[in-house]
Structure 1
Amino acid sequence: MAFSPDGQHVAVGVDDGSVQILSVTSREHHTVPQLNHLDAVNSIAFGPDGSIASASADGTVRIWNPASGRSVGPLTGHQGPVYGVAFSPDGRVLASGGSDNNVLLWDAATGKRIGAPLSGHTDVVRSVAFSPDGRLLASGSEDRTVRVWDVASTQSPPITLSGHNAEVTGVAFTPDSKFVASSSWDRNARLWDPGFSSWAQTGCALVNRNMSMSEWTALLPGRPYERTCPNLPSGPGAPPGAPSIR
């Protein structure tokens, strides 16, 4: 379920594929035919203009704007059920995560796909969330990790946050966009700092050396090596003269 931006309504996804809108004050409710799916609704999200997006086990995403009556969808692209959906803070982009292990980005006005799938998770993506400043997108997966993507440069490898011992079921940013919270079937909630520069500073203080090449590759696969401690030599196996984290 999700609250509308004005707090006056709640949208609820139902196992029969319908979406119900309830008034907070009167408790009256009605079904939204524009968001009717062929299977269970797994996730609901409101955009800043009051648009509603729904993600379903039927493998599709739908969008409806109550003010204009305009509907978009069904959006097809996931290869299987869709479990998470979220609007960007400006409402222009919609993110969805599914059983195909991918995160997809959509133009919320037209329903057209934006760029290539954000791939890297090795299991179902259960939850997606944009940071309030719109720069980052977090995804939580059954592969027990949270990945944080740079929305402006989706070709860059995501930061992978590992530590849960079971599926990650939910992700959310703090209002200042500095931290990501995650929930998991391991019965724990975790709070993460997705800024790698702060990780680097903490690591340098703890071990007083740069990361080795093998450590770097395990943590940030696909990203060119950078020295994590500017004033210390590069770790074992690292390329000589490697730049420092900025």
Structure 2
Amino acid sequence: MKPSWRGLLLSSSIALLLMGVTVGGSIPGARSQTDPAPPVNAPTPRNRRTFIPVNTLTGHLGGVNAIAFSPDGTRLASGSSDRTIKLWNWENAQLDNTLSGHSGDVNSVSFSPDGELLASGSDDKTVKLWDVPTGQLVGTRLGHSFSVQSVAFSPDGESVASASSDKTIKIWNVNTTEEQENLKRHSSYIWAIAYSPDGEKLASGGYDNEVHVGNLTGSWFWFIGGGYDTFKGHSAPVLSVAYSPDGSKIASGSADGTIKIWDVDDQKLLSTLTGHRDWVLSVAFSPDGESLVSGSADRTIKVWNVASGSLETTLTKHQGKVFAVAFSPDGKTLASGSADNTIQIWQAYP
């Protein structure tokens, strides 16, 4: 079995040269004495968010590779190198259940839109579906020939997409074992996938340094090499991708140490966020779309203003690489998973 990039990262001592220049003009809101006053209906810049650590969830015996909040915000799922998935009542720092069944590292977890099912992807080459209330395994999807690096439920809950080191993306029917699509979009390993909020597009990031965005209508074109847009600009593998809540932007985090924000429709690079000293392993938009958080192998979490591309704050609680970050649905809580085997819960203000 080909080792996952998380394992390679943990054992690697190679320092990457960070590259990237902020793109775009001056920071919105900064104007000289001679600049015209903004229009009356211009949005008022919000205050910077402050994040306070309020809880640490412990129990995993290996690094926490993936985290996801349930749609109602009451549960948090975590996937680990200890081959288990844990379901938490995060507000009380209480472990509700441990899901066992994978024979390899769990690299990704995703809740169904109704919160009743959880999908997981693993180094054991499988995608598993779990019943959240009972913790029972309800199905295993076989078909990938190498590690499953990322899984994502479609917004309608009918399908699960999985991305693998075998260079393919598969789309599975939730109610059957049917493989609906086998998409060959990247020339190398695929690390991350994300559905657009309307479910019509699927974004992916890979070892070929590219972000691909394809329309799921007529997706059979992908098999013959067409039907998707390619976003180029990173100088190293793309390890994470995320859609903004309105679907207009994609953020990509890379082993080149940068985050790039792209305009989906215009296929244009909007900004490059620099500041991390190592691989950017995870990115997530806040539910209001105003902030972006990033987790890095440099052990920090950074919070960015999406409109200006400016760094708002750096969070330094973890003692290991930060593999995963996620906002609660109401945007008031941030969770982060790390190679230090812990999940940190942060309260966001305002």
Alignment of 1:18 onto 2:168:
yes
Alignment of 1:128 onto 2:277:
no
Quickly say closer, same or farther: Cα 1:160–1:194, change in 2 above 3 A.
Answer: farther
Q: CA deviation at 1:193?
A: 2.9
Question: What's the TM-score, normalizing by structure 1?
Answer: 0.74
Between stretches 121-130 and 101-110, larger displacement belongs to: 101-110
- Report the residue type matching 1:173 in the other structure: F
Separation in structure 2 between the aligned mates of residue 114 and residue 141 of structure 1, nearest angstrom: 21
What residue in structure 2 maps to residue 141 of structure 1?
Answer: 296
What residue in structure 2 maps to residue 183 of structure 1?
Answer: 337
Alignment of 1:131-170 (within 5 A): 131-154=286-309, 156-170=310-324
SS of aligned partner of 2:269? coil
Quickly say closer, same or farther: Cα 1:157–1:134, change in 2 above 3 A.
Answer: same
Write out per-residue CA displacement over residues 191-230 of structure 1, whole angstroms, 9 at most, x where no aligned residue.
12343xx7xxxxxxxxxxxxxxxxxxxxxxxxxxxxxxxx
Separation in structure 1 between the aligned mates of residue 227 and residue 331 of structure 2, nearest angstrom: 30
* Higher relative contact order (Cα pairs below 8 Å, separated by 6+ residues): 2
Q: CA deviation at 1:57?
A: 1.0
SS of aligned partner of 1:114? strand
- Report the residue type matching 1:56 in the other structure: G
Which ranges in structure 1 are unaligned for 5 or more consecutive residues?
199-246
Separation in structure 1 between the aligned mates of residue 325 and residue 280 of structure 2, nearest angstrom: 11
Separation in structure 1 between the aligned mates of residue 263 and residue 332 of structure 2, nearest angstrom: 26
What residue in structure 2 maps to residue 9 of structure 1?
Answer: 159
Alignment of 1:96 onto 2:290:
no
Alignment of 1:30-41 (within 5 A): 30-33=180-183, 36-41=185-190
Separation in structure 1 between the aligned mates of residue 158 and residue 216 of structure 2, nearest angstrom: 13
Which ranges in structure 2 are unaligned for 5 or more consecutive residues?
1-150, 220-225
What residue in structure 2 maps to residue 105 of structure 1?
Answer: 261
SS of aligned partner of 2:193? strand
* TM-align CA RMSD: 1.6
| Runs of 4+ residues deviating >4 angstroms | none
SS of aligned partner of 1:193? strand
Write out per-residue CA displacement over residues 135-189 of structure 1, whole angstroms, 9 at most, x where no aligned residue.
11110000001111111221x3231010101100000001111121100000000
Q: Is the 8 A contact 1:159 1:194 kept in 2?
A: no
Separation in structure 2 between the aligned mates of residue 135 and residue 25 of structure 1, nearest angstrom: 36
Quickly say closer, same or farther: Cα 1:184–1:163, change in 2 above 3 A.
Answer: same
Alignment of 1:77 onto 2:233:
yes
Q: Percent identity?
A: 42
Separation in structure 2 between the aligned mates of residue 168 and residue 84 of structure 1, nearest angstrom: 12
Q: CA deviation at 1:23?
A: 0.6
Q: CA deviation at 1:32?
A: 4.3
Write out per-residue CA displacement over residues 82-136 of structure 1, whole angstroms, 9 at most, x where no aligned residue.
1000000010000000001100011112321113x10111100000011111111
Identify, as 1 or 2, the structure richer in strand.
2
Identify, as 1 or 2, the structure richer in helix.
1
Q: Is the 8 A contact 1:169 1:185 kept in 2?
A: yes
Alignment of 1:42 onto 2:186:
no
Q: Is the 8 A contact 2:303 2:311 kept in 1?
A: no
SS of aligned partner of 1:143? coil
